[in-house]
Structure 1
């Protein structure tokens, strides 16, 4: 039986693991740590941080970050991967695979083994405030083709991918960091667009899927996807047969914290 704390991923306040942080981690054997910009400084300092995390939690702990390319980058001292938007315009799977490898190689020497990327959001609404260049484009089939290639490149290089934001963040003008987006679409409409890349990713057996803090009232009127048994157990696990890791987006984002402070 999985220990509840083993399913938790936490963040840290700064670029070093203090003695107090280390004691806390040793007493709470959580499953992983997510590093943000405040944690990633010089390569040497960040590598020391991840080594200290492993000393406290064990060699197999997952250490994650977001290294997508474009607007979302955590490591800035190495050449970044091209933006998904640029890769979408190019339309070549080999280039997307290579971009995933580039992103992974920029993380491995820091001791990071999980990349919360790429975005498989179909850019349905170009005025979406949070996706934009993070998407491979408006064509669901192309997003599936290139996003899966990117994720496979990352995993081939040794870094677990997390395709996001299931079941799709591309058709909202509300940023889930601030508030709860509502996408009032039928299941048929989602199956024709937003779900295409995620269903393909599930069938490709990619390492992990990140959920969206978005309410889809025609599928679950009470809970956003992150908290929805209908969308997680029913569709992703049950219908699509996905057997990998499901990870939530950050639970302190406004979409969740303002309405479901206990998750």
Structure 2
């Protein structure tokens, strides 16, 4: 007879797994001592290896238990179900691999500015997914809007490279209005895995007045004030759309990275 640790070693599994299988009625010991110690027969090894193999194929314990009561080990319909689950897992892993490759290959992007130094930049068209417009600006409301938006993309969208941030309705002449301004959450449309309905918006190509800031209320307000002064000094007219773009991952507070860019398109 084999002790539980000996059977686990022979089957290249763990003592904890054997205890769990016993509790679930999937694989029971040959006998138990009065003290509760489990003992197994060598002939049980082959049943255990089959169970472990079926688990590795992706079958649930309930499915395995059902198979134990059937003559056929793997009916065609269950093979097809397992195949579908495996294909879905492969697709999910390919998504993860693609995202990891992008992060590894990604070079520093954006504008190489010093903080709070306004600049003029030339931008290309960039397409974004965008959320509904905010109803308020409290932390709870921002978090709820952010969560709903990314839930409409998919569970990996938060990890994808590409620009993200907010689109805020705020004229450059009103820096102090930022904390109450309506906004939308945006994410560059690098993903095609979107559940409808979700809107899309394009950041137009053209010249922008841009400044790099610390992504908190004080930093953003300071940056907006400098942009207001900059556009006034140079007699620049801008649209009323503030593009607030993260400098990259990780997002540390209210869906923003530690630093980011504030950008206003110049009127043509």
Same fold at TM > 0.5 = no
**Could you tell me the TM-score, scaled by structure 2's length?**
0.27
TM-score normalised over the length of structure 1: 0.27
Which structure would you say has the larger Rg? Answer: 2
Asked which structure has the greater RCO (Cα within 8 Å, sep 6+), the reply is: 2
Of Structure 1 and Structure 2, the greater strand share is in 2
